[in-house]
């Protein structure tokens, strides 16, 4: 582990580095931007290969990348570590009470190596108001939202009014259109097409939590998503395919997406690296027949944050309330049959579908604090190439969102310095159902927009997050 704020002062090394010459480009103080600090000796995946680099951070918060030593007043020794672009959570979830909970939410994201949290599953009813409010606050990490159709549907009954509200939100910077027809099953095909047409008009992705999660019908939801893309020409992202769309039929779901992409449709998806889902007791997922649909009973459900196992009586009690998150039993969506096959596809990314909202122990799925470290650990244990996994957490996420994420998501000269430094041998998620409020293990340093925000389990007090919007 790197000791907290341990910088190695440059002495003779600085002078020696200035004298090095050759084909390899070196950035010296006389010919490059002044550097605040350098991360030295860590391995990064750059231009298709792993190698050790000096990564300099400029006062403007951009990167200078060199295989030869860089000059800076402070050096961070990252020997035996991986230096990656900071992780981007495209499916962060903090839409219930963000004004009250965002500081805790961001704290546990940065403790998992996340430098940008984008709420593309839920998001905001009015992105303009959202950004206006939150740009006046200080943030640990960068943030952004889609326009949340579910909330707009609650607010407006007429489709025409809903369309106007969505367009207003997109005009105000929303990163996309998001909807969850499983939770609002009265959503019509006419509506789905209308929302897809708006996404196409604005060239923003449409994020869909598909309509069905049962073994018999889940592929119908995937087909509907594909048909929206086919009918409207919009870009479609299917949320957490391992828990909605491919829980029981992942190979078929992936094949459907492959064929759609081969036909020219722009469809992507994501998964989170857990063998179980969690959702609210009052949601439609627990409507009559849930035990048959998922092969579970009351005792297979657990209240996240307390570890309480349910009975028929307690289930009915929580079902009558709002805001109680229940976790399904482990193995309900087997990793080898859901997550791993999806991760083999380049069109599949990592998204948490979670966020920690309160302390000391939140009623939130542990993926809200541990998704990305858990994904890396899974990749290492399952011999999935690390660079393949990291791309699903960084560069591919930027490609999906588009221009607001320009110059992020890669270790590259001139790119914004969002960086995660971690130990590949010991990294893992620590959050559990009983105690979700835990930082991930072996996330050593997190740099957000050029400033060290997290250092060996400790927040540095720096708030350098920025809004991400169109």
Q: Mind listing the pLDDT tens digit for each residue in 39-84?
A: 999 999 999 999 999 999 999 999 999 999 999 999 999 999 999 9
Strand-strand pairing, 325-327 and 278-280: antiparallel
CB burial of 176-192 (b: ≥16 within 10 Å; e: otherwise) equals: bbbbbbbebeebeeebb
Q: Which domains, from first to last, does the chain contain?
A: 12-80 (2.30.40), 86-275+333-403 (3.20.20.140), 277-327 (no CATH)
**Separation between Cα atoms, residue 46 and residue 53, nearest integer Å:** 9
Whole-angstrom CA distances from 425 to 111, 235, 377, 418, 443 are 18, 37, 8, 22, 11
**Separation between Cα atoms, residue 209 and residue 348, nearest integer Å:** 15
Whole-angstrom CA distances from 62 to 24, 42, 77, 201, 452 are 20, 18, 19, 33, 13
Nearest one of 161, 156, 143 to 102, comparing CA atoms? 143
Which three-class secondary structure state does DSSP give residue 251?
Answer: helix
Whole-angstrom CA distances from 333 to 270, 275, 437, 438 are 14, 5, 23, 24
**Separation between Cα atoms, residue 172 and residue 54, nearest integer Å:** 39
- The CA-CA-CA angle for residues 370, 376, 382, to 5°, reads 125
Q: Give this prediction's pTM.
A: 0.92
Mean pLDDT of 3-17: 36
If phi > 0 it is left, if psi is from -120 to 50 it is alpha, else beta; for residue 318 that is alpha
Q: How confident is the model at residue 19 (pLDDT cuts 50, 70, 90)?
A: very low
Q: How confident is the model at residue 96 (pLDDT cuts 50, 70, 90)?
A: confident
pLDDT, tens only, 371-395: 999 999 999 999 999 999 999 999 9
Mean pLDDT of 342-369: 97
**Separation between Cα atoms, residue 313 and residue 325, nearest integer Å:** 16
pLDDT, tens only, 274-299: 999 889 999 989 999 999 999 999 99
Q: How confident is the model at residue 32 (pLDDT cuts 50, 70, 90)?
A: low
% residues pLDDT > 70 (the chain):
93
Torsion angle, alpha carbons of 384, 386, 387, 393, to 10: 100
Among 16-25, 27-36, 240-249, 342-351, the least confident range: 16-25
Nearest one of 294, 329, 327 to 218, comparing CA atoms? 294
> Is 6 in contact with 76 (CB distance < 8 Å)?
yes
Q: How confident is the model at residue 22 (pLDDT cuts 50, 70, 90)?
A: very low
Average pLDDT taken over every residue of the chain = 93
Quick one: pLDDT at residue 26?
38
> Is 205 in contact with 120 (CB distance < 8 Å)?
yes
Neighbour tally for 45: CB within 10 Å: 22
Q: How confident is the model at residue 33 (pLDDT cuts 50, 70, 90)?
A: confident
Mean pLDDT of 421-448: 97
**Separation between Cα atoms, residue 93 and residue 352, nearest integer Å:** 8
**Separation between Cα atoms, residue 106 and residue 94, nearest integer Å:** 10
**Separation between Cα atoms, residue 371 and residue 277, nearest integer Å:** 13
Mean pLDDT of 359-371: 96
Instruction: Assign 3-class secondary structure to 253-292.
Output: HHHHHHHHHHCCCCEEEEECCCCCCEEECCCHHHCCCHHH
Among 21-35, 99-113, 193-207, the least confident range: 21-35
Whether the per-residue pLDDT at 308 is higher than 80: the answer is yes
For 467, list phi and psi in degrees, rounded to 5: -75, 145
DSSP type of residue 406: T
How does DSSP assign 85-154, residue by residue? EPEEETBB---SSHHHHHHHHHHHHHTTTEEEEEEEEEEES-HHHHHHHHTTS--SSEEEEEEEHHHHHH
**Separation between Cα atoms, residue 324 and residue 304, nearest integer Å:** 8
Torsion angle, alpha carbons of 204, 349, 356, 136, to 10: -30
């Amino acid at each position: 582990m790197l000791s907290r704020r341990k910088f190695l002062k440059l002495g003779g090394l600085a002078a020696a580095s200035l004298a090095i010459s050759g084909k390899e480009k070196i950035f010296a103080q006389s010919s490059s931007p002044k550097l605040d600090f350098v991360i030295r000796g860590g391995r990064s995946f750059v231009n298709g290969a792993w190698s050790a680099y000096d990564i300099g951070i400029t006062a403007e918060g951009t990167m200078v990348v060199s295989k030869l030593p860089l000059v800076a007043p402070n050096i961070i020794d990252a020997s035996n570590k991986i230096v990656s672009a900071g992780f981007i959570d495209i499916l962060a979830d903090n839409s219930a009470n963000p004004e009250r909970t965002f500081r805790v939410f961001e704290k546990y994201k940065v403790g998992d190596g996340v430098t940008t949290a984008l709420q593309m599953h839920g998001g905001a009813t009015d992105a303009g108001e959202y950004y206006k409010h939150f740009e006046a606050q200080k943030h640990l990490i960068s943030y952004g939202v889609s326009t949340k159709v579910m909330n707009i549907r609650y607010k407006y009954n007429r489709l025409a009014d809903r369309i106007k509200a969505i367009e207003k939100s997109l005009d105000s910077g929303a990163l996309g259109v998001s909807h969850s027809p499983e939770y609002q099953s009265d959503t019509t095909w006419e509506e789905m097409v209308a929302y897809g047409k708006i996404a196409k008009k604005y060239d923003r992705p449409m994020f869909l939590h598909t309509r069905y999660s049962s073994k018999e019908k889940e592929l119908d939801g995937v087909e509907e998503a594909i048909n929206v893309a086919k009918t409207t020409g919009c870009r479609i992202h299917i949320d957490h395919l391992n828990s909605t769309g491919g829980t029981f039929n992942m190979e078929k779901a992936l094949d459907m997406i492959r064929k759609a992409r081969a036909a020219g449709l722009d469809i992507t998806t994501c998964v989170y690296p857990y063998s179980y889902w969690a959702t609210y007791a009052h949601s439609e997922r627990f409507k009559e027949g849930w035990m048959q649909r998922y092969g579970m009973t009351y005792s297979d459900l657990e209240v996240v944050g307390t570890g309480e196992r349910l009975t028929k009586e307690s289930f009915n009690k929580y079902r009558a309330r709002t805001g109680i998150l229940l976790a399904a039993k482990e193995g309900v969506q087997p990793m080898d049959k859901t997550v791993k096959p999806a991760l083999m596809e380049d069109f599949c990314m990592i998204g948490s579908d979670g966020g920690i909202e309160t302390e000391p122990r939140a009623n939130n799925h542990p993926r809200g604090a541990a998704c990305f470290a858990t994904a890396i650990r899974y990749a290492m244990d399952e011999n999935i190439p690390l660079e393949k996994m990291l791309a699903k957490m960084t560069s591919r996420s930027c490609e999906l969102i588009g221009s607001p994420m320009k110059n992020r998501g890669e270790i590259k000269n001139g790119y914004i310095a969002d960086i995660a430094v971690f130990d590949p041998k010991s990294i893992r998620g620590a959050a559990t159902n009983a105690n979700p409020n835990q930082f991930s293990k072996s996330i050593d340093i997190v740099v957000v927009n050029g400033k060290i925000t997290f250092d060996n389990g400790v927040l540095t007090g720096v708030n350098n997050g920025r809004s991400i919007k169109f």
